[in-house]
Amino acid sequence: MLYRMMKYKLLLLFGFLLLGCTHHSKVVLENKGYQNVQWTEEEKQKEIAIRHLSRSEYSSSHLLRVKGAEEPHIHDYHDLTVTVISGKSILHFKDHEVVLEKGDVVHIQKGRYHWAENIDPEASVVFAVFSPAYKGKDKRLVK
């Protein structure tokens, strides 16, 4: 009896693990303007194109299309959470790097040296949330 219960629990656990490995997360906002975004030809030519989606007192959300690479930088006053919508990128930190693919989420605390590099044949698209709301002036370039 105990053996059968263990067998069923292991089977159930394996099923959940398999399901977890095949399901990708979604980004859902009240404003559906971010879904099926059609980037303009001008935006497609840029190394990094940005669409501002929403802003409140506490946070702002943006879509970024990354064709090339960012310059290494630090955000002194903002935490940043990024969800990869499409593509494949390397997120570089001072002491290590992480390969990110569709569905991956990363949180970058303020003051953390980082930069993203697209490694996909197509541009990568990410959903980025800054807290507090980003006003475009908190990107200190670092070499």
pLDDT tens, residue by residue, 8-30: 444 444 444 444 555 555 666 66
Supply the Cα-derived Rg of the chain in whole angstroms: 19
Structure tokens at 12: 């159930």
| Domains and their CATH numbers in the chain | 26-31+39-141 (2.60.120.10)
Say how many C-beta atoms besides its own lie within 10 A of residue 36's C-beta.
6
Report DSSP letters for 25-70, one per residue. Answer: P----SSGGGTT----HHHHHSSEEEEEEEE-SS-EEEEEEESSBP
Q: What is the pLDDT of residues 25-79, one digit of tens each?
A: 566 666 655 567 889 999 999 999 999 999 998 999 999 999 999 999 999 999 9
Burial state string for 71-90 with b = 16 or more CB within 10 A and e = fewer than 16? eeebbeebbbebbbbebbbe
| pTM (predicted TM-score) | 0.75
